[in-house]
């Protein structure tokens, strides 16, 4: 295979082949018919024909092949440049002929990947819309039922009126929670959230959260504690209130799905430039098939139990978005019937 093939080289080789064929033909004819050997005029004619063939071949290749390849190549390069936000560099004729096969193959692969991504996003969008409608429909129908019962005479029944109003108010609170959480996720995704990055002691923050959630933990007699060895202060650089939301969600989940008389432990691990924070429980655990979807919006492992215990179904999704806004990630490991551990990293503050 020839490398760095150009139109001129292709035209020259073709013209050379024609010249050689024509010269050989003249020589054979003269020998067959005992004509005089090829003179200067015959040689000049052969080479003139070769030069003319070169010009014709070059013109045809340029007009009907190269220009069309060039147009395809420019479209592909502009498409790739717009995707990667890079400036389109100039290119020459040889570069086009050498790289067109590779560029077309790469472009086809990128288009295939993009189509698969779009299909995945479309499936996610449909699932998300279905989940949103279902999550909103449940409290709305409950509120509607309570109000109609009160309108139909229940308002004057002292045994049901206050109870139904309280239930309606509870479902209104649930609706507000869903809407507020959706609004927060929207802000996180659109980069509207302004993070107040500051240095703080994350162990002190967890201590505050433990105090706030003591009542919740007491309902199941769950003990909130630090893992052995977490005696020091751990200073990180992050938005304190945003990380409070992350830890509150994770600790509340550990209480919600923890076992009676169990324990929730928070651990800290010092790494090179980061602090790893882990929240572990000894509760019901999560099946492996659910782990990849835990941070999807409205995804519930146990739908009936999750709704009974309240929440919008967006807590873990918010956790993920907040940490992504900090350019960090969250992970989970779990064993059914043993417990779950959620971990995330934060940048370590310099002393």
Whether the per-residue pLDDT at 172 is higher than 50: the answer is: yes
CA distance 337 to 283: 7
Q: What is the pLDDT of residue 35?
A: 66
Q: For the segment 178-222, what is each residue's pLDDT rounded down to a tens digit?
A: 787 777 777 776 666 678 899 999 999 999 999 999 998 999 999
CA distance 298 to 128: 8
Q: For the segment 104-148, what is each residue's pLDDT rounded down to a tens digit?
A: 667 677 777 778 877 776 766 676 676 677 777 888 888 888 888
- Name which residue leads in pLDDT, 34 or 85: 34
DSSP designation for 262:
-
Q: Which two tokens stand for residue 305?
A: 């139990």
Query: Domains in the chain, please, with CATH?
Result: 7-91 (no CATH), 121-189 (1.10.287.130), 197-348 (3.30.565.10)
Mean pLDDT rounded to a whole number for the chain: 78
Q: How many Cβ atoms are within 10 Å of 4's Cβ, its own excluded?
A: 9
Whether the per-residue pLDDT at 39 is higher than 70: the answer is: no
Q: Which two tokens stand for residue 259?
A: 């076992």
Whether the per-residue pLDDT at 279 is higher than 90: the answer is: yes
Return the bridge partners of 225, or none. Answer: 265
Q: For the segment 49-99, what is each residue's pLDDT rounded down to a tens digit?
A: 878 888 888 787 777 666 666 666 666 666 655 544 444 445 555 555 555
C-beta of residue 250 within 8 angstroms of C-beta of residue 319: yes
Give the β-pairing of 330-335 and 339-348: antiparallel
């Amino acid at each position: 295979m020839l490398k760095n093939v150009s139109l001129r080289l292709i035209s020259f080789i073709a013209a050379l082949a024609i010249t050689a064929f024509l010269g050989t033909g003249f020589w054979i004819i003269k020998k067959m018919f005992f004509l005089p050997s090829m003179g200067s005029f015959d040689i000049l004619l052969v080479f003139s024909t070769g030069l003319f063939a070169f010009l014709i071949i070059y013109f045809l290749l340029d007009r009907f092949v190269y220009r069309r390849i060039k147009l395809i190549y420019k479209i592909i390069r502009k498409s790739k440049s717009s995707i990667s936000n890079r400036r389109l560099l100039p290119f020459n004729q040889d570069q086009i002929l050498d790289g067109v096969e590779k560029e077309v193959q790469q472009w086809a692969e990128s288009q295939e990947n993009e189509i698969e991504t779009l299909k995945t996003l479309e499936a996610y969008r449909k699932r998300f819309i279905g989940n949103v409608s279902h999550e909103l429909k449940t409290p709305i129908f409950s509120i509607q039922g309570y109000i109609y019962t009160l309108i139909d005479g229940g308002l004057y029944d002292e045994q049901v009126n206050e109870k139904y109003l309280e239930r309606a108010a509870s479902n209104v609170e649930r609706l507000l929670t869903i809407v507020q959480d959706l609004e927060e996720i929207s802000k996180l995704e659109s980069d509207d959230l302004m993070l107040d990055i500051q240095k703080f002691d994350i162990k002190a923050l967890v201590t505050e959260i433990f105090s706030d959630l003591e009542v919740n933990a007491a309902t199941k007699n769950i003990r909130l504690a630090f893992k052995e060895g977490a005696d020091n202060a751990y200073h990180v650089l992050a938005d304190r209130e945003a990380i409070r939301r992350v830890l509150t969600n994770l600790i509340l989940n550990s209480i919600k799905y923890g076992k009676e008389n169990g324990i929730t432990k928070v651990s800290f691990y010092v790494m090179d430039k980061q602090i790893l924070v882990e929240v572990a429980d000894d509760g019901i655990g999560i099946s492996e098939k659910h782990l990849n979807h835990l941070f999807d919006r409205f995804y519930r492992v146990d739908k009936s139990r999750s709704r009974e215990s309240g929440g919008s179904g967006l807590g873990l999704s918010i956790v993920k978005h907040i940490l992504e806004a900090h350019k960090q990630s969250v992970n989970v490991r779990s064993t059914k019937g043993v417990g779950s551990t959620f971990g995330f990293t934060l940048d370590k503050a310099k002393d």
